Structure 1
Amino acid sequence: MRKLFAELFGTFWLVFGGCGSALFAAGIPDLGIGFAGVALAFGLTVLTMAYAVGHISGGHFNPAVTIGLWISGRFNSKEIAPYILSQCVGAILAATFLYLILSGKEGFSIDATQAGAFASNGYDSFSPQNYAMVSAFIAEFVLTMFFIIIIIGATDKLANTKFAGLAIGLALTLIHLISIPITNTSVNPARSLSQALFVGGEPLMQLWLFWVAPILGALLGGLLYKNLLQDNK
C-alpha cells in the first residue's frame, strides 16, 4: 500500500503542478510563464517527487513508465494494474482540486471547443498549433520512447543514480519544450485522462491516442534498452 500511495501522491503532484502551472500562470499578460515555464513546471514535479517518494515506489507516476519498466524486466507484472489505477486516481484527484480552485474565479468555464481547454491534450483543431493526428501520434510515440530509455538508463545499476531524478526531470522538461505546441504534451496517459474527463466532448473522444501512442512508445523504449543498451554481464 505504501507503494500505491506513493504513486498516487506523485501523480497528483505531477498533474497539480504541471497542469496547474498551465491553468493558473501561463497566460497572465506580461507576467505569465508561457510554454517554457509550463515545461519546467512538469519537469520539477517529477524531479521533486522522484526524490520524495521514488525510493518507495520507484517513482513511475505514469502508466506508460510502468509498462515500459515491465517490458524491460525492471517491474513485476502483478503490480501493473494496481500502479496504473493509483496513478489514474491521483491524476483525477489533482484535476478535481484544480477545477475547484478555478471555480472560484469569476467567469470560469471550460470551453470544450477550444484547444488545450483545462490543459487537455488534442490533435487537429484541438492541437495548440493545429497538428494532425499522425503528427500527434508520432510525437507522443517518439518522445515517450526516449523518456523510457532515459529513465531506465539513469537508474541502471551502472549509472550514477544519485542524479537520476535530475536527469528524468530535465528530460520531461525537454519533452514539453518540444511538444506543447503539438499536443499540449501528454507522454502520460493518466495526465491526459484526468483533464479530458473534466472537458468532455472531442478532447475525451481523442483520449485514445494519448493512451495508445505513449504505451507503444514505452514498450519500444523498454525493449530497445533491454536488448541493445543494457549490460547484462
Structure 2
Amino acid sequence: MTTPASVTTTDAELHPAGDAGFRPGLVSRLAAEAFGTLFLVIAGLGVPLFTLPQSNPLPAALAGGLAVTAAMLAFAYISGGHFNPAITLGNLVAGRIRPMDAGAYLVAQLLGAVAGALTLFGILRTVPNIPDTRAAFDTVTAGFGEHSAIQASMAGVLLAEVVGAALLVAVFLGTTARRNVHAAAAPFAVGLSLAVLLQLGQAIGNAPFNPARATASALFNSSWGLGQLWLFWVAPLVGAAITGLVFRGFSAGTVSAAGTGSTASTASTGAAVHGTGGAAGAESDDDDHDVPAAAPNDEAPHDEARGGDEARGDQAPDDEARDFFDGPRNT
C-alpha cells in the first residue's frame, strides 16, 4: 500500500538534527529516572536541611520545583521525566506506559531517592555542629499529627496528599500530551506546580507528593518516620490513579469523535503508517517514536489512531511524555 504524500514522514522529520534516530533502551531510561530522582531528593531535602535564614534566600519549596524543571529538561528526552512513583502510576493508568516498565521505573526512582538521602546523611555526619543526624532528618520527613508543623490530623494530610498528587499528575499529563501546542513548557509547568504544592505541603507536614522522596527521608530519620510512611504512599497513588482515569476518559472521548467524516479516514491512514496496525506496532518497546501519522504540522490523525489502539485494549503504548521530548512539535 502506498502512503499518501500528505502523511509521509521522513526520518529527518521524526528525529531532530543531531538525534540520529536516538531510541533509549529500558536500561538508559531507568538510569535517567534514578539520576533525576537523586537530584530531586538532594535539592528538595538538602536545601531545607542546610538552610541558614540569614544567608539562604531560596525557599525550599522553590528549590524543589526548580530541581524538577532542571531534571526534566536534562533527562525527559530519555525517560519521560517522571522521577515520582505517583506520576508513573498516572501515566500507567492513562495508558502511556507499559506495566512492566512502570514497575521498573518505580524501583529506579526508589534507588535514586535513597542514594540522594544517603548522600545528604553522609554530609550531615561530617558537620560537628549537628550531633544527631537522624534528628536533623526529622525536620524534613513527612508526617502528621504531632509530627506536623501545624499539628495537622491524619485525615487532613491524607486529603492534601491525594489532591496535591492528583493536580501534579494532571499538569504532567496535560502538558506532555502530543496535541498540546504549548508542551515545550512542560518542565516549567510541572516544576512551578510542584513548588506551589510543596509550599503548602511544608506547612501541613512536609508533604512531598512523591512517595520516593518520602521514603528516602523516612529511612534516615528517627523511628517515627517509617511508621507514618504508609500515608505518603497510599494518598498520592490514589490521587494519581484518579487523574490517570480522567485522562484515559479524555482519550476515549477523542476516539469516539474520530469515527466520523474525514477524521476517521485520516486516522486509518495514520494506523497504516504504523505498518501493520496498532497491536503490532505496540510490540516494540519504543514504537511511538516511529509513528507520527501526519506531517509535522498535523498530529491529530496519529493521536486518534493511537487512542483507538488503547480503546481496543491493545498493549499500552510507550511513555507519551518521552515521545514528546524525543521529537519535533508544532509551534
Alignment of structure 1 residues 1-233 onto 2, 5 Å: 1-25=27-51, 28-33=52-57, 37-108=59-130, 109-110=132-133, 112=135, 117-159=138-180, 160-228=182-250, 231-232=254-255, 233=258
Name the stretch that deviates more: 147-156 or 177-186: 177-186
Per-residue CA deviation, residues 84-142 of structure 1 (Å, 9 max, x unaligned), is 11000000000011011111111421455x8x715110000111211000000000000
Read off the aligned partner of 1:125 and give its amino acid letter.
E
Q: Return the structure number with greater helix share.
A: 1
Instruction: Point out where structure 1 has 5 or more consecutive residues left out of the alignment.
Output: none
Structure 1 segments of 4+ aligned residues over 6 angstroms from their partners: none
RMSD: 1.7
Instruction: Point out where structure 2 has 5 or more consecutive residues left out of the alignment.
Output: 1-26, 259-331
Name the stretch that deviates more: 203-212 or 103-112: 103-112
Aligned residue pair count: 227
Percent identity between matched residues is 34
8 Å Cα contact 1:118/1:195 also seen in 2: no
TM-score, L = length of structure 1: 0.92
Q: 1:206 to 1:186 in 2, by over 3 A?
A: same
Larger Rg: 2
8 Å Cα contact 1:126/1:203 also seen in 2: no
8 Å Cα contact 1:111/1:117 also seen in 2: yes
Q: Which whole-Å CA distance do the structure 1 matches of 2:201 and 2:129 have between them?
A: 30
Q: Which whole-Å CA distance do the structure 2 matches of 1:42 and 1:148 have between them?
A: 16
Q: Which whole-Å CA distance do the structure 2 matches of 1:200 and 1:83 have between them?
A: 28
SS in 2 for 1:30: coil
8 Å Cα contact 1:62/1:188 also seen in 2: yes
TM-score, L = length of structure 2: 0.66
